[in-house]
Amino acid sequence: MGRPWILDYDGANCTIGAAVGIIGERWTFLVLREVFNGVRRFDDMQRRTQAPRQILSDRLGRLVDRGLLRKVPYQEHGQRSRHEYRLTEAGLDLYPVLVALMQWGDRHAVSPAGPLALLTHRDCGERVRLELTCGAGHKLASAREVTPLPGPGARKTA
Amino acid sequence: MGRPWILDYDGANCTIGAAVGIIGERWTFLVLREVFNGVRRFDDMQRRTQAPRQILSDRLGRLVDRGLLRKVPYQEHGQRSRHEYRLTEAGLDLYPVLVALMQWGDRHAVSPAGPLALLTHRDCGERVRLELTCGAGHKLASAREVTPLPGPGARKTA
C-alpha cells in the first residue's frame, strides 16, 4: 500500500486528538454513560461506577469546566441543598461516541449472558444503531470504504 | 424525571464498560487513529503521537493481545526484519468509535483553522458521517429519542 498522506501533515488540528484530550479517559466515559442513562447524582454514580470519590469528583468537575455537564441544584425534604449533573447540548452531542462503544462492545466484549441494555427508538420501539453513511445517501459497510482527505486545518510538516 | 431503571441493575454486562476497559485510554485512541489512517510502523506512530516509546510499545502490545491489531513482518532492502501493525476484523469494527469522536471534535473542539482531515466515501467522494437510525429506518436527531431498556444480561441488584 502507498505511503499515507497523513504522514506528511502535522498532527495539530486533529479533532480526534482534541476529543480524546477532553473525554479519552476511562472514568470520564463511565461518568458519561451514567448521565446518558439518567443517573445524575453523585452518590448514585459513585455506587455504579465504583470510582473513588476523589476521582469521580475530579472528572465531574472537568466535564462541567469543559461545558459538557451543568450543575443543577435540588433539595429533598429536610435535607440540605445539593446539585445534580445534567448534559449540556455539547454533552448530548457525545451520544454517538457512547453508542459506538456500546455497539462494539455488544459484538466483541459481551458476556455470555448478553448485554445489560438495549437501545430502542422512543417513538417506534425498534432497536437503535449507528450507521456510516455519506452525503449521497450511501450506506458504508466498513472503514475500507472511507477515504480520508486533508481538511482545511491540515498543515504540512516542515 | 422518574428514577432511571438502570439504578436497579448491576453494572456487570455493560458493554460500554467492557469496551472502555479495552480501549478507553488516551494513547490507545491515538494509536488506533494512526492505524486507521494507514500509519502502521512503530517509528511513524511514535513521531505522530509523541507517545513515549515504552507507552507506545505497551499499548500496541495490548491491542495485539486483545486481537484488535496483528503484527505483520516486513523487510526493507539491507535492513533487519521488522513488523508493522494492521487492524484485525475486530479492530476494523472500532471505526465508528473513532468517527464519532472525530465528528464531535469537528463540532466542539475544532481550531479556527478547521479540521485536519475530512472523511469521504471512496466510491462517490461525498462526506461521510455517522447517523443514529432504527430498525424501522427512522433517523434519530439526538439521544432524547432513544429509550434504553434492560437487555438479556441485565441483573437486578440485591
> Which tens digits make up the pLDDT trace of B34-53?
899 889 999 999 988 889 99
pLDDT of residue B97 exceeding 60, the answer is yes
Q: What's residue A49's pLDDT?
A: 86
**Average pLDDT of the segment spanning A87-105:** 93
Are B127 and A134 inside 8 Å of each other by CB? yes
Are A101 and B146 inside 8 Å of each other by CB? no
* Cα distance between residue A29 and residue A61, in whole Å: 14
Selected residue with higher pLDDT from A109 and A84: A84
Selected residue with higher pLDDT from B120 and A11: B120
Binned at pLDDT 50, 70 and 90, residue B1 comes out as low
**How open is the CA angle B46-B122-B63, to the nearest 5 degrees?**
35
Q: What's residue A1's pLDDT?
A: 54
pLDDT above 70 coverage of chain B, percent: 97
pLDDT of residue B88 exceeding 80, the answer is yes
pLDDT of residue B96 exceeding 60, the answer is yes
Are A37 and B101 inside 8 Å of each other by CB? no
- Here the cell at position B142 is 439526538
pLDDT of residue A131 exceeding 70, the answer is yes
Q: What's residue A63's pLDDT?
A: 93
Angle between helices A53-65 and A42-49 (to 10 degrees): 120
pLDDT of residue B21 exceeding 80, the answer is no
User: Cα–Cα distances in Å, from B45 out to A12, A151, B85, B119?
Assistant: 15, 20, 10, 20
Q: What's residue B19's pLDDT?
A: 79
**Cβ neighbours of residue B156 under 8 Å, at least 6 residues apart?**
B8, B9, B10
**Average pLDDT of the segment spanning A137-156:** 90
**Average pLDDT of the segment spanning B70-74:** 94
**Average pLDDT of the segment spanning B106-118:** 88
* CB neighbourhood size of B43 (10 A): 10
- Here the cell at position B51 is 507517545
Q: Which of A22, A49, A93, A97 to mutate to test the interface with B (most CBs of B within 10 A)?
A: A97
Closest CA of chain B from A49, distance in Å: 8
Closest CA of chain B from A31, distance in Å: 10
- Here the cell at position B8 is 436497579
Residue A24 with chain B: CB contacts under 8 Å: 24-26, 29, 101
Closest CA of chain A from B23, distance in Å: 9
Binned at pLDDT 50, 70 and 90, residue B116 comes out as confident
**Average pLDDT of the segment spanning A60-88:** 92
Are A120 and B95 inside 8 Å of each other by CB? no
Are A15 and B102 inside 8 Å of each other by CB? yes
Residue B16 with chain A: CB contacts under 8 Å: 29-30, 33, 98, 101-102, 105
Closest CA of chain B from A94, distance in Å: 6
